[in-house]
Every structure is written in structure tokens, then in C-alpha cells.
Amino acid sequence: MLRMSLLASLVTFTLMACVRSQDDLVTRRIAVSEECLVGKCRFNNAPLKLEPEKIRLKGRAYDFQRVAERLDFIDANGASWQAPERSLTDGASIPEIFVPLIGFPNEPRFVNAAALHDAYCGIGNETGPVYHAKTWQEVHRLFYDALVASGTPDTKAKIMFAAVWIGGPRWYPLGAPDLTLETVPEAAKKEAFLKAKAFIEAEKPKMPELIAFLDEEIREMLRKKRGHGKDTQPPRSPNTPPTATVPF
């Protein structure tokens, strides 16, 4: 019995170990995390397959690659998502201002989530078939679900989610960019992120609690930027644009 237990522990440790090469990535079985709403999230054809060519985009610090074969994902609500063939990804999706605070998340277990997220809102995919096809809130939440479905520990996934919620792109349902946070200083965003990181590590919040915390930090950033002090009116919903700015 002891021998069987030790063997089971060894197998579990082996499956959990980080993969280091593209060959390992292609053959590795992707675990389904219970944290993703009781394991309902899943990839249908993971792991991600990438074309070997490295592509540099102006103003970006990291190499991009194209998706070689469409990646399909089902979220906890049964909705389908995809990273289409030929879409671009740099394997991270983390806003560059937060990389010094998180480290560049280039482990193979992150690339599936990053490719999905990039397809819906990443640079270089603006003409892609799914770009901005969902709200920014749905797309950023997708990033978290896909991370935990790929075996990312919950705390790490929530920290990465907080980074994209605070510093990632936002847009209106009809595609116009939401620039609400564009003029907020980077220092303020970093401060908000560090508060969120500490909150996640200390409190282990559920996702609704985390999103409420992040939204309050964003309201506080906007209050400070406006100089209104105790502004009791929350900012306009990012998905309720003024009529004049909506392209028809």
C-alpha cells in the first residue's frame, strides 16, 4: 500500500511539473481546475500550437508568434471561445507596466489563456474574426478561467487577472475604445495593482469579491485624478458609452 501511495505521489508530481520545451507543450495533458466553477471549463484541443516564426511588433518588448491551429475553449457557462488560426500572441497578455511587479509570465501553462485573450483584444489582431466580439469584462474573466483550466494556481491566476482588469484594454460593445483609464498615471495603476495583489494573497477572495475590490480601486484612481475627493457617483459603466461616441 505504501509503495502504491509513493508511486501515485510521484505521478502527481510529474504531471504538475512545469514543461520546458515546445515538444513537452504539444504532448502535455491540460488539467481542468476545480476552481473554474467546479471544473466546467475546458480546452477542446489544447495545448496551443504555434508557428515557429518569431515576429516583432513596433513598440513591443516581446516576440510574437502566430497560432498554427485554432484553439477552442468552453467556459463554465458553456460558451465557446477561440483563438483563430494565424492570430498573434506573445504568450503573456500582462500589461507591460505590471511585468516588473509580476515577472514575465512565460511558462507554457500560461500560453493557452494568453492566446485566447490576445485573440479578443491583443495588438496585431484588430482585423481578426473575434477581436472585441465580447465585452472587455467577459474577455478579462475568460483570461482567468483559461488560466486555471490550464493548471495555473488560483492565487497566481487572480493576480494576473487583476493586472489585466486594471491595466488591460477596454472597449465599448460596438468596438470603440474606452479611454476612461488612459490618462490615469502609471504610478497610480501600479499602486492599485499592488493593493490588489496584497488583497488576493491575504484574503483569498472569490471572484465576485475580487472584482468588487478592483472596481473600487479604479473608482478611487478616478476620484484622485479628478481631484473630487469623496466622489459618491461611480464612473459611467464602460459598457454604456455616450451616444455621440458610438459608431453606427
Residue from 236, 156, 239, 238 nearest 200 by CA: 156
pLDDT digits (tens, 9 = 90+) for 173-208: 877 899 999 999 999 999 999 999 999 999 999 999
Q: Is the pLDDT of residue 130 over 90?
A: yes
Higher-confidence residue of 37 and 93: namely: 93
Domain range summary for the chain, segments of one domain joined by +: 25-229
* pLDDT, average across residues 211-232: 82
Q: How confident is the model at residue 13 (pLDDT cuts 50, 70, 90)?
A: very low
Q: How confident is the model at residue 19 (pLDDT cuts 50, 70, 90)?
A: very low
Q: Is the pLDDT of residue 29 over 70?
A: no
